[in-house]
Structure 1
Amino acid sequence: MTLAAGIDVGGTKCLGIVIDVDADISSEHDIIREVRHPTPHASKLVDTLTALAIELGEVETISVGVPGLITLDGVMRASPNIPGSVDVAVKSELTTKLHRPVYVDNDGNAAALAEWRFGAGRGARNMWMVTLGTGIGGGHVVNGEVQRGVNGFAGEIGHMVVHPDGPRCTCGRKGCWEVYASGRGLRMLASGEPGENVIERARHGETDAVAVLEAYARWVAIGISNVTNVSDPDVIVIGGGVSEAADIIMPMIRRWFVETLYSPEQRKHPDLRIAQLGEHAGAIGAALLPRFATAT
């Protein structure tokens, strides 16, 4: 047994777990320990991560997935959903506080690694993980290796501009994909109504709610068709809130995906799959970083 701690930093919570990385992780029942803390202002992030790591207990490795632009040496350059997140040296500061090596990567990369290794992406040669949460996270795994780019910033698909004159994103630009296709995007399209309410009403056939979900599904499909046109994956794993409403939203997304994809009749389409590891994907993937990451 090899115990590894993985911490996933989200827009609202930090989730830490301990797993046996020698085992086959198939569900939350394979998690040995779990700890949660609210996500603080960036100035307190390292203190929160330190406390969380200590609570997780004795492990062989500690790793963290952090949202935003994360350099190859573990500096959070920017993370629009965490206030104050400019040039936070997560890796070096946490290493100093814990007196041990710490691995740090982008949270989307970590989630992608988890779903490729243990979840819906098993067997994929060229896989994208798309997480539709507070924002939109992305991670790209090719032949078992996470694609990080020259600076570590690859995979920021939530900030593809899909409407240059659209509403302003939390990053400061206008019309980013996550403005429309994130959880916040669904609420915006519903004129402020919570997404879970819209989904429930759509399940009961209320036409206005169905129309909102159709509009949302179209925006989701536009983004994943762009990702497909750029990288030609064989699998796209979709996680976040959509995975909890797959029965009603995924048929819409699949239909709009065909409508928006370049030359759909002349190509093999990627398999659109729902993520299997739920909210634990980022933390599980973080725990895997020491074994699979090439630059952490």
Structure 2
Amino acid sequence: MTETLIGIDIGGTGIKGGIVDPDQGILLAGPVQVPTPQPATPTAVAEAVAQVVDSFTHLPGAPDRHAPIGMAFPGIIRHGVVRSAANVDDGWLETDIITFLGDRLGRRVEVINDADAAGLAESRYGAGAGITGTILVITLGTGIGSAFIFDGQLVPNTELGHLEVDGCDAETIASAVARERHGLPWVEYSGVLQRYFSHVEFLFSPELFIVGGGISQRADEFLPQLSLRTPVVPARLLNDAGIIGAALHGHRTHLSAPTWTEVR
């Protein structure tokens, strides 16, 4: 059996984590959640993350204290450096987040974009399990997040929520928050999503769309209204996807990486 891992999902309003079995893609403990500090500066967030991690340290089945921790972060992560910071403080920009959080926790940290983490989890354990070719996971929330998976491999940091639709940045008209802001009934919102998903479908011809975010729990209100060549289904892992995907990323990266002490 693969050793358990800790996964952490850093969000704009909450930081949550759990002990994950990466063989089965399930939480063995948690989720434990604390509020995201406001403002969400690097130092304040690091302290909140440490609080969540510490809550698992002495639990039965907890990973070894030197095991890596996988983390999902709401921004573009390139070579371990934060290139965008959605819903957290701008002080994160250009921060070497792997080194910064690793120094605070005293152990190896692997960081991945939050939508990419959810995509990895859904493609491995959720609605995309067993499907080859291109899977696109689209999360509808405050904005629109996206994950591009090809034959089980992640193409990181896609930002498909910023495609232009109806002359606008897509997430300003097609996100869940945009629906609420504009007071759109489900039928009208489905029409906006139709134009968005048709555009993405034309560009990438995926085998499957998986729709995540909190709004996916009401998928029966809008998914049946979409007319696409590509099957489109709701996400299965819901709020645990980011934690599970972060842990999976940490596990995959750790297999070929030196230990934290070796890179110091």
- What range is the shorter-chain TM-score in? 0.7 to 0.9
Contact persistence 1:11–1:134 (CA under 8 A): no
Partner of 2:236: 276
Cα offset, 1:80, TM superposition: 2.8
Q: Distance in 2 between matches of 1:116 and 1:292?
A: 15
Secondary structure, counterpart of 2:158 in structure 1: coil
Contact persistence 2:71–2:250 (CA under 8 A): no
- 1:109 matched to 2:109? The reply is no
Secondary structure, counterpart of 1:115 in structure 2: helix
Q: Distance in 1 between matches of 2:217 and 2:239?
A: 11
Cα offset, 1:90, TM superposition: 1.9
Task: Name the aligned partner's letter for residue 216 of structure 2.
Answer: S
Secondary structure, counterpart of 1:225 in structure 2: helix
| Root mean square deviation of aligned Cα | 2.1
Partner of 2:189: 216
Contact persistence 2:70–2:251 (CA under 8 A): no
Partner of 1:179: 172
- 1:91 matched to 2:98? The reply is yes
Cα offset, 1:14, TM superposition: 1.2
Secondary structure, counterpart of 2:9 in structure 1: strand
Secondary structure, counterpart of 1:7 in structure 2: strand
Q: Distance in 2 between matches of 1:132 and 1:183?
A: 5
Q: Distance in 1 between matches of 2:95 and 2:143?
A: 20
Contact persistence 2:121–2:242 (CA under 8 A): yes
Count matched residues. 243
- From 138, 141, 158, the equivalent of 2:146 is 138
Cα offset, 1:163, TM superposition: 4.1
Cα offset, 1:17, TM superposition: 1.0
Partner of 2:85: 79
Q: Distance in 2 between matches of 1:100 and 1:238?
A: 34
Partner of 2:260: none
Partner of 2:164: 161
Cα offset, 1:248, TM superposition: 1.7
Contact persistence 1:42–1:88 (CA under 8 A): no
Matches within 5 A, 1:21-32: 21-22=22-23, 24-25=24-25, 30-32=27-29
Task: Name the aligned partner's letter for residue 121 of structure 1.
Answer: G
Matches within 5 A, 1:169-248: 175-190=168-183, 212-248=185-221
Task: Name the aligned partner's letter for residue 249 of structure 1.
Answer: F
Contact persistence 1:113–1:146 (CA under 8 A): yes
Cα offset, 1:235, TM superposition: 0.8
Q: 1:181 to 1:241 in 2, by over 3 A?
A: farther
Contact persistence 1:237–1:274 (CA under 8 A): yes
Partner of 2:137: 129
Secondary structure, counterpart of 2:88 in structure 1: coil
Q: What per-residue deviation string (whole Å, max 9, x for no partner) do you get for residues 110-160 of structure 1?
A: 100000110001122211111111221111110111002xxxxx3111122
Cα offset, 1:62, TM superposition: 0.6
Task: Name the aligned partner's letter for residue 50 of structure 2.
Answer: T
Taking only the aligned residue pairs, the percentage that are identical comes to 30
Q: Distance in 2 between matches of 1:183 and 1:96?
A: 36
Contact persistence 1:134–1:183 (CA under 8 A): yes
Partner of 2:261: none
Give unpaired runs (5+ residues) of structure 2.
258-264
Give unpaired runs (5+ residues) of structure 1.
149-153, 165-174, 191-210, 259-268
TM-score normalised per structure 2: 0.84
Q: Distance in 2 between matches of 1:31 and 1:249?
A: 33
Q: What per-residue deviation string (whole Å, max 9, x for no partner) do you get for residues 243-270 of structure 1?
A: 2112222112x23xx4xxxxxxxxxx22
Secondary structure, counterpart of 1:117 in structure 2: helix
TM-score normalised per structure 1: 0.76
Q: Distance in 2 between matches of 1:39 and 1:224?
A: 32
Q: 1:222 to 1:11 in 2, by over 3 A?
A: farther
Contact persistence 2:139–2:212 (CA under 8 A): yes
Cα offset, 1:181, TM superposition: 1.8
